[in-house]
Amino acid sequence: EPEVTQTPSHQVTQMGQEVILRCVPISNHLYFYWYRQILGQKVEFLVSFYNNEISEKSEIFDDQFSVERPDGSNFTLKIRSTKLEDSAMYFCASSKNGGAAEQFFGPGTRLTVL
């Protein structure tokens, strides 16, 4: 069964460093999402991406964040200069259709900023 994959599973970085989190969505899906979950809190939407551009972003997704689909398979989230408060679990998701369509989640990347 096709699934969303994410790498790495755990990333440890120093404050101020750049990190890139990678996702491979399901191959025939067209809509891609990033979410984050700070430890003990609920999952929060970061950004949605369709047709090679951001379709929506939350207040969390400031200038420090960017997304890219560098080739036909990868979808990346870059944090330019990490802060302690960026420590969280980051989930990628994809769906075949947008709107209310079912989303399929990756296993997550746990980011720890020291």
Partner 1 sequence: KNEVEQSPQNLTAQEGEFITINCSYSVGISALHWLQQHPGGGIVSLFMLSSGKKKHGRLIATINIQEKHSSLHITASHPRDSAVYICAFITGNTPLVFGKGTRLSVIA
Residues of the shown chain interacting with partner 1 in the complex, contacts defined by CB under 8 A: 33, 35, 37, 41-45, 48, 56, 58, 89, 91, 98-108, 110
Quote the least distance from Cβ 80 to partner 1, whole Å: 22
Q: Where are the beta strands (DSSP E) in 4-108?
A: 5-7, 10-13, 19-24, 31-37, 44-50, 53-57, 65-68, 75-79, 88-95, 104-105
Closer residue to partner 1, CB minimum distance, 9 or 27: 9
In the block, tokens 């207040």 appear at 59
Residue pair 34/67 in contact (Cβ under 8 Å)? The answer is yes
Closer residue to partner 1, CB minimum distance, 15 or 101: 101
Quote the least distance from Cβ 16 to partner 1, whole Å: 25
Among residues 93, 95, 88, 86, the alpha carbon closest in space to that of 107 is found at 93
Quote the least distance from Cβ 45 to partner 1, whole Å: 4
Closer residue to partner 1, CB minimum distance, 72 or 96: 96
